Amino acid sequence: MTTRTFVRVSAGIEAATGVALIANPALVVQILLGADLAGSGVAIGRVGGFGLLSLGLACWPNGDAVTVRATWVLFLYNLLASLYLGYLRVGGEFSGYVLWLAVGLHAVLALLLARPALVAISALKTA
Q: Delimit the domains of the chain by residue range.
A: 3-126
Q: In terms of C-beta density within 10 A (0-12 exposed, 13-18 middle, 19 or more buried), how is residue 36 classed?
A: exposed
pTM for this model (two decimals): 0.88
CB distance 57 to 24 below 8 Å: no
DSSP string across 109-121: HHHHHHHHHHHHH
* Beta-carbon count within 10 A of 27 CB: 13
Alpha-carbon gap, residue 23 to 127, rounded angstroms: 44
- pLDDT of the chain along its 127 residues, tens only? 788 889 999 999 999 999 999 999 999 999 999 999 988 999 999 999 999 999 999 999 887 778 888 999 999 999 999 999 999 999 878 888 899 999 999 999 999 999 988 887 777 677 5
